[in-house]
Structures are given as C-alpha cells and as structure tokens.
Amino acid sequence: MEVKSYGGNGWAVFIMSAEGAVSNVTLHQPASPLETVIHKGCFDIVSMTGSYLPSKTDGVSSLKGGFAISLVGADGRIFGGGLAGPLIAASPVQVVIGRFAAGEKEETKQDVASGTPGATEPSDSPSGSSSDPGSPSN
C-alpha cells in the first residue's frame, strides 16, 4: 500500500529493487492466478518487480497493476508469485521505487524528447561537425 500511495494523479510508480525480510505472504499461483497460497514464516526477498499505472474508466481514475515477488525461506527453498495480499515486513525492508508522469503529462515529455522543432539546440558549426574527441571527423 505504501508503494502504491506514490502513484495516482497522473503518476505511475514501479519497483526498481527491494531487500529485507517479510512474513506471512499471500501469493497468486502462476499456473492458476485465481488461487492463492499463504506462506507463513520469515522469508528473505530475492526480487520484487511490478508497477501501478493510472487508468480512467467511465471518468473514474484508479491505479491498475500489481507486484510479483520471489522469496527464499530458511531452508533455502525459493518460491514466488503475484502478490495477493498485504506484505508485512519482518525486518527493515528497503524498496527503491521510481515514478513517472503518465497520460497527458507523458505525451508532453515525449514531444520534447522526440526532437520537436525548437526543442534541440542548433549546432555550433555550419557543417554540423563536432570538435569532440570522440567524433568521427577527428
């Protein structure tokens, strides 16, 4: 819920990395996404990925998405799946997230990045060559 709280209002959020330990995890099973399994105990995070993107349906804004997690138990068994319930920290957990403008805000950024006329600086020389040591003309 904490990661999801950084999304919304035109912002998408995604997980870049995570580390720490969690307990009592509820996961969707990859072979049968409607089934869930509760794993009780303390598990170290191996990897965690996912995102929430803004969505609008019938004029109502919401966030769509989810997270997948891989965990390892004290016995060395690795397991994972889609997160289907709250994720409770069993130790300090660090999650690095990113967020970016989505929807209308994203389109504005794409226009500038795509080289819209006036968005780039003109070349210093009339031929367009560069005096940069890494340029092909040197």
User: Given this model, what pLDDT does residue 54 score?
Assistant: 83
Higher pLDDT, 81 or 110: 81
Higher pLDDT, 76 or 56: 76
User: Given this model, what pLDDT does residue 103 score?
Assistant: 62
Domain spanning 11-101: CATH 3.30.1330.80: yes
Give domain limits for the chain: 11-101
User: Given this model, what pLDDT does residue 3 score?
Assistant: 80
Residue 130: is its pLDDT beyond 70? no
Written in H, E and C, the secondary structure of 45-100 is EEEEEEEEEEEEECCEEEEEEEEEEEEECCCCCEEEEEECCCCEECCCCEEEEEEE
Tell me how far apart the alpha carbons of residues 87 and 32 are, in angstroms, rounded to a whole number.
20
User: Given this model, what pLDDT does residue 114 score?
Assistant: 41
User: Given this model, what pLDDT does residue 1 score?
Assistant: 74
* Full-model pTM: 0.66
Q: Which of 23-37, 53-67, 75-89: highest mean pLDDT?
A: 75-89
User: Given this model, what pLDDT does residue 133 score?
Assistant: 43
Residue 96: is its pLDDT beyond 90? yes
